[in-house]
Amino acid sequence: MLYLDDIEVGATRSFGRYEVTREEVLEFARKYDPQPFHLSDEAAADTHFGRLAASGWHTCAMTMAMFVEEMKAHPQASLGAAGVDELRWLKPVYPGDVLRAESEVLEVRPSRSKPHMGSVRNRMTAYNQHDEPVLSFVALALMRRRPEQP
Amino acid sequence: MLYLDDIEVGATRSFGRYEVTREEVLEFARKYDPQPFHLSDEAAADTHFGRLAASGWHTCAMTMAMFVEEMKAHPQASLGAAGVDELRWLKPVYPGDVLRAESEVLEVRPSRSKPHMGSVRNRMTAYNQHDEPVLSFVALALMRRRPEQP
């Protein structure tokens, strides 16, 4: 189990593989983001998307799915996240794309008021199969500190 | 249809109603954020959530659903969004909660390089049924400018 004390600034990881299907793009969009360009090729044709593109929130969700899978392989004493900064949808994500992700630790900060925990600023970037970044954000993750030995 | 030129800094709107169900919390978490505290009351009991709580990305998606509904009632010449800043999950969202949202226009900026469009910085806040803010972010929305009259 990785604790806050084990996290090093500058550490990077590359992980995940997520096949984006038309069915899932439509299912997410119908439920959470039914703007025309997320619902049909026809409606997307005269926008900068050009054809059916995934909701940006769907891309966030798919990236999170890859990250949780990665955390299962390398368990962390996660306490969830306080938020996200500088979230940017850099390129459209299309059905047929295959996503992967990279993370980089930007900052590790033990809490002053809560000695058992601290925060990690983690830059997350998702790429498509052309190695183009499609999504970037800085997660403000909360983690437990390593318990003191008895 | 509202264009960029119709958007006024300081304008606010209150909108939406979203009932958070246990079934949907679990469905989203299983697919996109299967961390234990998003999957069962038992696993959430010894975290700050206390009981089963929705994925933060699910709260974003539900807030987007309310916003798209609002845009249908008041159509905007939306071109999607470039990103989001200062996203904060302020309180856990639980099954049984009923969410609503407010938006406030922070900035309107015509594009210099693309005269047909511009950007709007919009603060979005979601509240639960106790009027506690549960989510806040600043969306960087892109909009068309009003077409010139012939």
Q: What is the mean pLDDT of chain A?
A: 95
pLDDT at B47: 86
N-term to C-term CA, chain B: 18
Give the model's pLDDT for residue A7.
Answer: 96
pLDDT tens readout for residues B19-55: 999 999 999 999 999 999 999 999 999 888 999 999 9
For the segment A110-118, the average pLDDT, to the nearest whole number, is 94
Residue A148: per-residue pLDDT: 80
pLDDT for the residue numbered B48 = 87
Residues from chain A that touch B49, judged by Cβ atoms under 8 A, are 80
d(CA A89, nearest CA chain B) in Å:
6
Residues of B engaging A, defined by a Cβ cutoff of 8 Å: 28, 31-35, 37, 47-49, 55-58, 60-62, 64-65, 68, 71, 78-89
The mean pLDDT value for A45-71 works out to 95
User: What is the pLDDT at residue B46?
Assistant: 85
- Residue B80: predicted pLDDT: 87
Evaluate if residue A66 carries a pLDDT over 90. Answer: yes
CA B136 from chain centre, in angstroms, equals 8
For range B53-63, the mean pLDDT: 98
For residue A79, is pLDDT > 90?
Answer: no
Read off the pTM: 0.95
Is the pLDDT at A121 greater than 80? The verdict is yes
Lowest mean pLDDT among A18-27, A44-53, B104-113: A44-53
Nearest to B78 among A35, A56, A58 (CB): A35
Between the two ends of chain A, the Cα-to-Cα distance in Å is 18
Mean pLDDT computed over A141-148: 92
Tell which of B57, B59, B62, B91 to mutate to test the A interface (max A CBs under 10 Å): B57
CA-based max dimension of chain A: 65
Segment B90-146, tens digit of pLDDT: 999 999 999 999 999 999 999 999 999 999 999 999 999 999 999 999 999 999 999
How confident is the model at residue A80, as a pLDDT?
Answer: 87
Nearest chain A residue to B86 by CA: give it.
A85
Sheet holding B12-19, edge to edge: A12-19, A98-110, A117-127, A133-144, A78-89, B78-89, B133-144, B117-127, B98-110, B12-19
pLDDT value at A149 more than 80: no
How many Å apart are CA A35 and CA A95, to the nearest integer?
16
ipTM of the complex: 0.95
Residue A150, pLDDT > 70, answer: no
Residues of A near B (CB-CB distance < 8 A)?
Answer: 28, 31-35, 37, 47-49, 55-58, 60-62, 64-65, 68, 71, 78-89
Higher-pLDDT residue of A121, A80:
A121
